[in-house]
Amino acid sequence: MTYAPGIEEFVDRCNAVMPADFFTYAMEEQRRLYQSLVVEFPYELPLDVRWAEHNVTHGDAHLRFRLYEPSRAGSDGLVIYIRGGGFVMGTLDTHHSVAAEIASKSRINVMAVDFRLAPEHPFPVALEDCYTALLYAHAHADTLGIDPHRIILAGDSSGANMAVVVAMMARDRNGPAVAGQALISPVLDFTRWRNGGADAPLLTGGEMEFYTACYTPDPSTTAHPYVSPLVAGDFSGLPKAYVMGAEKDSLAIDAQLYAQALQRQGIDVELVIEPGMVHAAIRARSLSPTVEDAWTRYCSKISEMTRAVS
C-alpha cells in the first residue's frame, strides 16, 4: 500500500494508541483512548485566534459551543464545525486545534458545536443539537458579529454526515439558509455497515458496524434519510459543497457518490480524493506535507464559499 509521505508513521502511531479492536472495549475506555490522540498529536493553537466557550439556551434547548475568532477576519461569515468520532466519542477538546486552525487559515469565525453522544443518546439527538446551533447562530447573528446569509456547515466523518443532514433539515423545515458545505470523509450510507464491511487503515468494518448499532439501535432507522442520505438521494435545494475524501479510506465512495448526486441535481460541487491519505488524516497535518496541503486548500475553499455569497 502506497501512503502519502508521513502517513505510514501516522497510522502506526494511531494503532499504538487505539488498537484495531478498541471498539470492543468499554465505552468509557474508548473515549479515553480517543481523547489521548490529542496528546499523541499535539498542536499549538494559532496566535491570531481567540476563543471562548458559551453555554446558552435557544427555545427549550441547551447549547454548548466554542467560538473562535481570528484577529483579522476576512469575511463576516461563520463556519459551524461538527466534529467526527463515530457519534460516540470526542469532545470540544479533541477538535480544539482543528477549529482554531480553520478560523486562522480561512479568517472566518468558527463555532465548534458540542452535542450529546450515542449510545446514551442515539439518533436523532445529536442532529437536533447541531440543528439548534444553526438556529442559534442565525437568530443571534448580530451578537456573534456575522452575516446570517454566510453560514457554512462543515465537519469530518460522522460530523460531515451531520453537516449534510443539518442542511437537509434546514431545507425541510424552512429553516435558515445555508451558504455551503465543507466536508471531510463524509459517511453517508450506514445501511452498508449494519452487518460489518471492508477494513481500511484506521477504520475497520467492525468499528463501523459498532458505530451504526450505537447511533441507530433500531435497525429500521438505519435507512432514514437523516441517517443515510445517499439511500434517499434527494439533495435538491442544498447549498454548494466542497467534498474531500481520502484514497485509502473505505468512506471515499461516499464522498464520490455524494458529489455525483449533487452534480446530477444541478448543485455546484467540487470533489477531491486526496492520494495516499487515510481516514482521520487531518490529525497528521504536522507529519505529512500532503495532508497539510489538503488542509490548507480545505480552509481556503471555506473562505471562498463565504466570500462568494452576494
Q: Which residues are catalytic?
A: 157, 249, 279
Query: What SS3 state is found at 117?
Result: coil
User: What 3-state DSSP class applies to 74?
Assistant: coil
Count CA atoms closer than 13 A to 294's CA, side-chain side.
Answer: 32
Q: Is 125 exposed, middle or buried (0-12, 13-18, 19+ CB in 10 A)?
A: middle
Q: Phi and psi at residue 151, in whole multiples of 5°?
A: -95, 125
Quote the CA–CA distance of 230 and 305 in Å, as a whole number: 24
Whether 111 and 150 have beta carbons less than 8 Å apart is answered as no
Phi then psi for 81, rounded to 5 degrees?
A: -100, 125
Q: Which of 240, 76, 94 is nearest to 158 (CA)?
A: 94
Residue 140 makes CB contacts below 8 A (sequence gap 6+) with: none
CB 156 within 8 A of CB 282: yes
**Dist. CA 7–CA 162, nearest whole Å:** 27
Q: Which three cell numbers stand for residue 189?
A: 450510507
Number of helices and strands in the chain (H, E)? 10, 8
